[in-house]
């Protein structure tokens, strides 16, 4: 077993690249290589995820990339999304292993269960549903079931017109799947049968009316488990202590809450996006969209005009689950719909939906603060998701 620092050093020493995959609403999945000297380049593209790829789930162990096609381009009278299975290789070229139609609107997916056969839980925003699948080690999928919801609706009459399941995420015990429902002001909770992998509805958690929960991230430290929930409509991040009162049960106790601008005034157009705990479990990062809090140097070297940038908020996490605001920093462009952190914690890949760009931001692992853009590359279409694939084999001797 090797430390992250050894892995990073080994790859740097050999000039090996770290790979990233990027989905865009123009129908492309783009493979990127982050090489020595922070050179970021496009190595290949795939159109094997339908017309509106919305989310990527990386299964590095099996070399599989699951891609959700939201189905935005499907016929209005028969809307469908799809789950697409792509095989990765050392060159970054993706090979289609199959496509399965789904309820419309898949926007997030998480693998669960163990062994050669695993489950894939999918959150459907436009389809108001949660579905689940059997996922074999070769990437093949078999549908198992779904729950579709008709209510309740939240209090925001413009944005909460129906249940909107926005994410599927596994808890640290790997026994529960958490699904924030933006439209119903609920965090839906599911357990699953260990043999069949079929989902079972558990007790839901209610959040403040009109807040619109979007995504969640977990953290386990000193034998305690915490969940951090970002709400898109209220622009808040809230921490909860997570307990397991009995077999098959999970409970949440609110600890603290703060807006995604560190307590400062929230821009009227802002909408919180992604949330993630850093690999060292010491910091929390949240993306803000449509706030234009910064003006940054233009990425076009021929253009001296400053361009607007939305923001990333960083919080320092305490051992009791509370947190304090640390920094508001530029996201590198507009609409940071998604970001992901590398294993070493010193780089953040930001997918900028409206800027059609991926930016790699430097991060100080000791202070937790974000720094300048180490690399960037234009990506066609509206970027929806960016994930790291750091499963590059180590050089001999490590």
Q: 330-381: per-residue pLDDT in tens?
A: 999 999 999 999 999 999 999 999 999 999 999 999 999 999 999 999 999 9
For residue 178, being part of any structural domain is answered with yes
In a domain, 62, yes or no: no
Segments forming the whole domain that contains residue 236: 104-387
Which positions ≥6 away from 22 have C-beta within 8 Å? Answer: 29, 30, 31, 32, 56, 351, 358, 379, 383, 385, 386
Give domain status of residue 95, yes or no: no
What's the confidence (pLDDT) of residue 62? 86
**Does 79 map to a domain?**
no
Q: Is 67 among the domain residues?
A: no
DSSP, collapsed to helix, strand or coil, labels residue 156 as: coil
For the chain, the distance separating the N- and C-terminal CA atoms, rounded to the nearest angstrom, is: 10
Q: What is the DSSP letter of 165?
A: B
pLDDT given at position 117: 82
Sign of the torsion angle spanned by Cα atoms 275, 278, 281, 283 = negative
Give the pLDDT score at 14.
Answer: 39
In a domain, 82, yes or no: no
Vertex 180, ends 174 and 183: CA angle to 5°?
Answer: 160
The pLDDT value recorded for residue 16 is 52
- The CATH number of residue 236's host domain is 2.130.10.10
What is the spatial distance between Cα 321 and Cα 318, in angstroms, rounded to a whole number? 5
Task: Give the model confidence (pLDDT) of 175-194 as tens digits.
Answer: 999 999 999 999 999 999 99
Query: What pLDDT score does 9 carry?
Result: 42
Question: Is residue 200 in a domain?
Answer: yes
What's the pLDDT score for residue 392? 52
What is the domain count for the chain?
Answer: 1
Q: Which residues of the chain have pLDDT under 70?
A: 1-17, 392-398
Q: Is residue 228 part of a domain?
A: yes
């Amino acid at each position: 077993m090797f430390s992250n620092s050894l892995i990073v050093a080994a790859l740097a020493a050999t000039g090996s690249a770290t790979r990233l995959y990027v989905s865009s609403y123009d129908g492309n999945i783009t493979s990127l290589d982050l090489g020595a000297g922070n050179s970021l380049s496009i190595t290949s593209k795939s159109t094997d995820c339908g017309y509106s790829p919305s989310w990527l789930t990386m299964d590095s162990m099996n070399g599989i990339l699951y891609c959700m096609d939201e189905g935005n381009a499907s016929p209005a009278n028969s809307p469908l999304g799809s789950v697409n299975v792509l095989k990765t290789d050392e060159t970054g070229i993706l090979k289609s292993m199959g496509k399965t139609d789904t309820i419309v609107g898949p926007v997030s997916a998480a693998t669960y269960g163990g062994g050669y056969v695993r489950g894939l839980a999918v959150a459907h925003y436009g389809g108001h549903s949660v579905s689940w699948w059997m996922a074999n080690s070769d990437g093949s999928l078999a549908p198992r079931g779904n729950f579709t919801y008709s209510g309740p609706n939240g209090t925001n009459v413009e944005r909460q017109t129906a249940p909107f399941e926005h994410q599927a995420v596994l808890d640290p015990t790997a026994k529960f799947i958490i699904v924030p429902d933006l439209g119903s002001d609920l965090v839906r909770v599911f357990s699953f049968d260990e043999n069949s992998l079929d989902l079972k509805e558990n007790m839901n958690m209610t959040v403040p009316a009109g807040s619109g929960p979007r995504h969640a991230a977990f953290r386990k430290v000193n034998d305690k488990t915490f969940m951090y929930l970002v709400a898109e409509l209220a622009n808040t991040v809230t921490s909860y202590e997570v307990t397991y009162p009995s077999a098959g049960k999970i409970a949440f106790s609110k600890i603290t809450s703060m807006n995604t601008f560190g307590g400062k005034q929230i821009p009227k157009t802002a909408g919180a996006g992604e949330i993630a705990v850093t690999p060292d479990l010491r910091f929390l990062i949240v993306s803000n969209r449509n706030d234009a809090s910064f003006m940054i140097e233009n990425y076009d070297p021929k253009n001296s005009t400053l361009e607007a940038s939305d923001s990333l908020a960083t919080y320092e996490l305490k051992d009791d689950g509370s947190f304090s605001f640390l920094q508001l920093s530029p996201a590198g462009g507009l609409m940071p719909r998604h970001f992901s952190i590398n294993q070493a914690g010193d780089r953040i890949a930001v997918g900028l939906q409206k800027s059609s760009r991926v930016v790699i931001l430097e991060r100080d692992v000791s202070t937790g603060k974000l720094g300048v853009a180490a690399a960037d590359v234009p990506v066609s279409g509206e970027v929806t998701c960016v994930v790291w694939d750091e499963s590059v084999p180590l050089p001999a001797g490590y």
